Amino acid sequence: MAAAAGAASPADKERFICIYPAYLNNKKTIAEGRRIPIDKAVENPTSTEIQDVCAAVGFNVLLEKNKMYPREWNRDVQYRGRVRIQLKQDDGNPCLPQFPTRKSVMLYAAETIPKLKTRTQKMGGRTDGHHAATLK
């Protein structure tokens, strides 16, 4: 059994790293599953947003929509999903040299998600509405 597990190549889907939205969520505590510093975390990221930023930078990405983070008590659709990312090639070297560890991938995703068009348009709409109300 152990030989079969050891023989799995890093290119196999089972060997891809998992990133759950809770890892990057600034609304979560460390105990609730956040894995990066709160000042770098994002407000309620979705698995689709994580997939978008990782695929855009060139990762081999797989979105598993119906998976849930075990510590997530809220069963809403927005909290579902996990992203699997191929971090290493068959020879053990990182697929992208600028991302040698899973933490580097998480920090990049958290830094990039707020810049997504879907996020900036939502924020822009909200600010314009608020700004227009203050001008009246």
pTM across the whole model: 0.79
pLDDT for the residue 7: 52
- pLDDT (tens digit, 9 = 90+) per residue, 4-54? 445 567 678 888 899 999 999 999 999 999 999 999 999 999 999 999 999
Q: State how far the Cα of 124 lies from the Cα of 55, in Å rounded to an integer.
A: 25
9-135 to CATH, choices 1.10.10.10, 3.30.56.30, 3.40.50.2020, 3.40.50.1820: 3.30.56.30
Q: Any idea of the CA torsion for 112, 60, 103, 9, to the nearest 10 degrees?
A: 180
- pLDDT (tens digit, 9 = 90+) per residue, 58-114? 999 999 999 999 998 888 888 889 999 999 988 888 999 999 999 999 999 999 999
Non-local CB neighbours of 10 within 8 Å, separated by 6+ positions: 86, 87, 88, 89, 90, 92
